Structure 1
Amino acid sequence: MSDTGLPARRSAIYLLDQIIGEGKLLPELIGAGVLDRLEPADRARAQRLATETLRGMERADRILQKHLQKYPPLTVRNALRVGTVELCAGEAAHGVVNSMVGIVSRHKRYGHLKGLVNAVLRKVADKGPEQWPALRTPRLPKWLRGPLVEAWGGETVLAMEAVQFAGAPLDLSCKADVDAVAQATGGTALPTGSVRLADAGQVSALPGYTAGDWWVQDAAAAMPARVLDAQPGEAVLDLCAAPGGKTLQLAASGADVTAVDISEGRMERVRQNLIRTALKAETLVSDAFDVTGQYDAILLDAPCSATGTIRRHPDLPFAKDGSEFGALIEMQARMIDHAVSLLKPGGRMVFCTCSLLPDEGEVQAEEALVRHPSLTVDRAALDRPGIDPGWITEEGGLRLRPDHWADRGGMDGFYLICLRKTG
C-alpha cells in the first residue's frame, strides 16, 4: 500500500462520484476495472473507504453542514465526506487533511477549493470524533425507507438500519465438513450450516480457499438451495445462477445441475468457482425465457431490487431510486410462469429474491398460486436446521431480514418459498 494513502483515497472519491453522481453500482465499477491499476492493498483500502463513507454518509453530512455555508461540487463534497469518516474513525489528522487537500488541489476544475477543504477538515478533526458517536444511526433514503416502514413498521426498520450501519461479517458455504472449515478459518458455525467470520481479511488467503473447501455466500443466500434439497441424480435447473453460490450448493449435492445466466462475464465467474471447488455443473449462457426441457427441481433466484443486500452493498440506496421496481416485479411473475412450464409433474421449485419488499416476495408467491392451480406450498421443506418458526410467513414462505440474528451480525434480506407441481 502507498505510504501517503493518496491512490486509495483518490480512488474512493472517484467511486463515490460514480455511485452518487452517475447511479453506478460498486460491483459493476470494480468489474469494469476502475481499480485495476492500484496495488492490492490500495485496492482493498479504496473499497473500504468508499463503503464506510456510504454507510456513514448521513453522519458525515451532519458534521460537515456545520462548517459549510453551501455545498461544494460533488467531487469536493465526497473528498470532505471521506476525510470526515476517516477523521472520526481516528485516522491521523495531518495525513487525512494533507491527502484531501492534495487531491483537490490537483483537480482541473476544483483546485481553487483546496483552501476550503483544508479549513473544513481541520475543524472536523478538532470536534468531529466526539460528535460522531452522538449522532443517530444513518437512515435509509426516503424512496426505500417509506415502503419498508409500510411493510415492516418503524421499529423493525430502525433495527435493520442498525445492522446495516454496522457492516457485514463474511459467511462461507462449505463443500463438506462445516466444523472443520470453522476451525481452520477461525470462524463460527451458524445454526443453518454456514460458517461466519467476523474479521476475514484477504479471502483468498484463508485456509481452504485454494483447495475449494468453501465459497463466500451470505447465510441467508444459502437457504434457498438448502430448502430445495437437491438429491443425487436429480435434474436440477438453477435459473439466474450467477454469481454461482447456489449452483455450487446444488452441485455439491450430487444432482445433475444446469446453471443458466444471461451474462457471459458473470457465468465465467461461476465456471471459475466450479473449477476451484472441483464441482460439476453444466453452464448455459442464455435468457431464462429461452430455456427448455423438464426438470425435477428448479431454483429461481429472480432479478430483483436487491434491497435485502444493503448491509453488504451500501452503494445500492445511493445508486438507485426505486424507479425500476415495477418492471422487476413484472419480470419476476413472468419468470415464475416460465419456470412452472419447465417443472416435471411432482417436481418442486424454490422461488426467491434478495428483496425486503413484499411485492417481490410474499405477494409474488400468493399471485403465482392463484395463476397456477397445479402448485401447492411445500411447508415441510422449511423444516431445516436453524430456521426460526417465527420467520415462516402466513402463505408458507420464509422471510429473512437483516435484523434477524442481529447479535451475530445479521443476515441478508431474503424471501423464499418451495412450491410443488401436482399435475
Structure 2
Amino acid sequence: MDHLADDVNEDLVRRHAPQVLGALVRRYGHFDPAEDAVQEALIAAAEQWPRDGVPDNPRGWLIRVASRRLTDRLRSDEARRRREEAAAALTPADAFVTPPPDEAPAGQDRAPSEADTLTLLFLCCHPALSPAAQIALTLRAVGGLTTAEIARAHLVPEATMAQRISRAKRTVRGMRFLLPDPRDLDQRLGAVLQVLYLIFNEGYTASAGPDLHRPDLAREAIRLTRAVRRLLPHDGRVTGLLALMVLTEARTPARTGADGALIPLDEQDRALWDRTAVAEGTALAEEALSRGPAGDYQLQAAIAALHDEAERAEDTDWPQILALYDLLVRCTPDPAAALGRAVAVAMVHGPRAGLAEVEALAETAGPHYRLDAVRAHLLERAGDPAAARTAYRAAADATLSEPEARYLRMRADRLGG
C-alpha cells in the first residue's frame, strides 16, 4: 500500500486488505471512497499496532476502522449535498446493502471471507474494462501494488497509470458485487489469471528496488490462485498456473547467497529447493496437462517441472524443454517465451544458434535488459568475452533491480577489461 509504514507487518496487512476492501464495497457500493477508507485504516494500523500490539482479530479491526471512516465520509458528503441541494441523499445500491437470505440478518456484519476477495478479483476484471485497465485495477485493489510499481511493470509514467486506475474505478462504480454467472466466468478468467501471473512475477523477481524477491506478493499470488482453483477445480489453465507458481517458488531458498547476491538457476544448490513444493507442483502440472489442450500456463508449468526434477543442472532434459518451448511460442506472443526458447536452442544446438534466435527476437521485440543479459551469457559461452562484457554492462545499466544489476556487473567484471 502506498502509505503503509515499513515497520508494520506488511504480509499480514496485504493478506487482509483485499478482504476488507471487498467487505466495504459489498456493503456500501462505493469503490473509490471504500479504498480511501481502507487506506486510512492501514495508516491507523501503522501508527497503533507497533505501539499497542497487533489485535487478536486484525481483519475485524481494519473493517471497523475503515467502516467508521467511510461512514463519516458518506454522511459528510450527504450533508453537503443536502445543503447545496445539488442531489438527493446518497442511497447505496441494493446489491451492496441487502444481503442474500443465507447471509447475516440485517444490522449484523457478515464476516469477510475468501469469497469477498474472489468477488473483488472478478469485479476488477469486468469485461467493461480494457485488458490493461483490468490488470492495473486488480494489481492495485487486490494485489496491493502501488501505482508506481504497476507503472514500472507496464513501462508507463506513474501519472498515466494513476489516470488509468481512476478511470477503471469509475467504470466499476455501482456494479453488482457478485461473482459472475457461469456464462461470464470464462470470459473474465483469462484476465484474472494474467493478473495473478503478473503479481507472482513481481513477487518472485521484483522489477525494481533493493530486494530480488518480494515473498509477500509471491505468496499472495499463490494464495489467490489456490482460491480460484477451489472455485474452478477442473480448469486446466488455473491448475497449470498454480503448478507454475509452486514449482518456481520452490527454488527460492537457493536463489540468493548469504549476502543477498543473485544465484542463477544453473549454479543453485538444488538441495536447498523445497522438495515438498516440487512434488506438489509436479503433480499439479501433470493434472493440468491431462485437462484438455495444453495452453501457455500448462506448458510453462511442464517446463518448470523438468527443471525442478533434474538433480543437477547437467541432468536437465533440454531437448524436451525445447520441444515444449516450440509449442509455447505457437500459443502465446509473449517475448519472454521466445527468449526462453532461445536459451533452450543454445543448450541443445550451441550458443551461436541461441544467439541467432536472440538477434531475431531483438528485431521484433525491441531493446530490453533481459535480451542483453541472455545475449551476454551466450556470448560468454561462445568465447567472445569482450562482446559479452559489453552486453552484461548494457543489461546492468537498463535494469531497475539492484540485485540483478550487481550480478550483471559482477559477471562483466569477471571477464576483465
The two structures have a TM-score, normalised by structure 2, of 0.27
Larger RCO (CA within 8 A; separation ≥ 6): 1
Greater helix share, structure number: 2
The two structures have a TM-score, normalised by structure 1, of 0.27
